[in-house]
């Protein structure tokens, strides 16, 4: 099948931007990302208006129009910053991670279960710079694997996955019918599984309280915990200013064999989403409000 012209142009622009971003010093690359965000912001009017509607849905009358617009602009700008950081992944060594992560010592919590002969499932929301969390794991010598959705543009998807794999990350296809088996095998080999659970379930899923509403979400992290017996570590990478990040981790969430599988999966999922919801409500400008399918919509 002939590749659509739109996909060719998209890939060409991506590679051109990537070449420039990688050639610039980090601060200059972020400035370039800011300029791209400022230029694209009015051009993405439909996405911006939709994001503002979502913020108003969550906060009601507690946020003024000015506050709503500020939240969405910073979220858009942070998205550009995160894209810059992901593209520059090959240049991010351990020293860089330590420079930009205010409390990088918190990553020790990821390796604690390994010291006892176990493993852990890292659960992150689409908040702050989630890719920095993955890069940091790798630079601290923590092997990990992540489940991703491939893009429609095959070449763009392959390029993004190559950027992720530079850290030593194993990229797993969300639609792989052997996904459960592959994940459990990887975890038995010592790889940490990274899951981003705040995605609307395509089918199945469970209803959980989230962002002052109800969301239907996947139960992947809890299912993997239940099948493997390993705990879940909920975590968030918050951006502070332009160049600094703060790593937040919560208490481990352990599977409970005394409960039925359905009860246990629901318990763990609700607890984790509740933690994330609380932090997002405190720092809404850090959240990704631009999903094609909004979590709080009904089927």
Taking alpha carbons only, the member of 212, 224, 228, 207 closest to residue 270 is 207
Query: Distance between CA 126 and CA 245 in Å, rounded?
Result: 14
Query: What tokens appear for 20 in the block?
Result: 């420039």
Query: Distance between CA 64 and CA 75 in Å, rounded?
Result: 17
Give 128-158 pLDDT, tens digit per residue.
887 777 777 778 878 888 877 777 778 887 7
Contact 230, 121 (CB under 8 A): yes
Classified as helix, coil or strand, 249 is strand
Contact 67, 60 (CB under 8 A): no
**What's the confidence (pLDDT) of residue 242?**
93
Task: Show the low-confidence residues of the chain (pLDDT under 70).
Answer: 1, 167-168, 297-299
Q: 210: how many CB neighbours lie within 10 A of its CB?
A: 20
Query: What tokens appear for 192 in the block?
Result: 């940490």
Give 28-74 pLDDT, tens digit per residue.
999 999 999 999 999 999 999 999 999 999 999 999 999 999 999 99
Q: What interhelical angle do 45-59 and 26-43 show, nearest 10?
A: 90
Query: Distance between CA 299 and CA 244 in Å, rounded?
Result: 38
Taking alpha carbons only, the member of 159, 190, 228, 157 closest to residue 15 is 159
Query: Distance between CA 194 and CA 33 in Å, rounded?
Result: 26
Q: Give the long-range contacts of residues 210-215, CB within 8 A, separation 24 or more.
A: 210/273, 210/274, 210/276, 210/277, 210/295, 210/296, 211/58, 211/277, 211/280, 211/281, 211/295, 211/296, 212/58, 212/59, 212/60, 212/281, 213/57, 213/58, 213/296, 214/296, 215/273, 215/295, 215/296
- Exposure string for 184-205, b = 16+ CB within 10 A, e = fewer: eebbeeebbbbbbbbbbbeeeb
**What's the confidence (pLDDT) of residue 299?**
43
**What's the confidence (pLDDT) of residue 268?**
97
**What's the confidence (pLDDT) of residue 298?**
52
pTM for this entry: 0.89
How far is the CA of 279 from the CAs of 129, 224, 235, in angstroms? 14, 24, 11
């Amino acid at each position: 099948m002939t590749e659509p012209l739109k996909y060719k142009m998209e890939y060409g622009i991506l590679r051109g931007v990537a070449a420039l971003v990688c050639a610039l010093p980090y601060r200059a690359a972020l400035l370039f990302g800011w300029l791209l965000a400022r230029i694209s912001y009015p051009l993405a009017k439909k996405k911006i208006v939709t994001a503002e509607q979502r913020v108003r849905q969550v906060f009601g009358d507690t946020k003024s129009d000015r506050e709503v617009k500020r939240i969405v602009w910073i979220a858009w700008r942070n998205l550009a910053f995160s894209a810059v950081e992901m593209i520059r992944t090959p240049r991010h060594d351990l020293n860089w991670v330590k420079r930009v992560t205010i409390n990088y010592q918190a990553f020790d919590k990821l390796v604690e279960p390994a010291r006892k002969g176990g493993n852990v499932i890292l659960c992150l929301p689409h908040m702050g710079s989630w890719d920095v969390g993955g890069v940091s794991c790798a630079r601290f010598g923590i092997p990990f694997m992540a489940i991703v959705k491939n893009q429609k543009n095959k070449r763009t998807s392959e390029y993004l996955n190559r950027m992720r794999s530079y850290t030593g990350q194993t990229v797993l296809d969300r639609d792989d019918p052997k996904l459960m088996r592959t994940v459990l095998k990887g975890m038995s080999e010592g790889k940490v599984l990274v899951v981003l659970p705040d995605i609307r379930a395509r089918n199945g899923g469970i209803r959980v309280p989230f962002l002052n509403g109800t969301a239907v979400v996947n139960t992947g992290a809890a299912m993997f915990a239940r099948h493997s017996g390993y705990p879940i570590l909920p975590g968030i990478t918050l951006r502070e200013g332009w160049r600094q990040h703060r790593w937040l981790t919560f208490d481990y969430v352990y599977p409970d064999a005394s409960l039925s599988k359905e009860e246990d999966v629901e318990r763990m999922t609700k607890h984790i989403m509740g933690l994330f919801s609380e932090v997002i409500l405190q720092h809404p400008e850090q959240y990704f409000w631009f999903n094609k399918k909004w979590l709080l919509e009904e089927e």
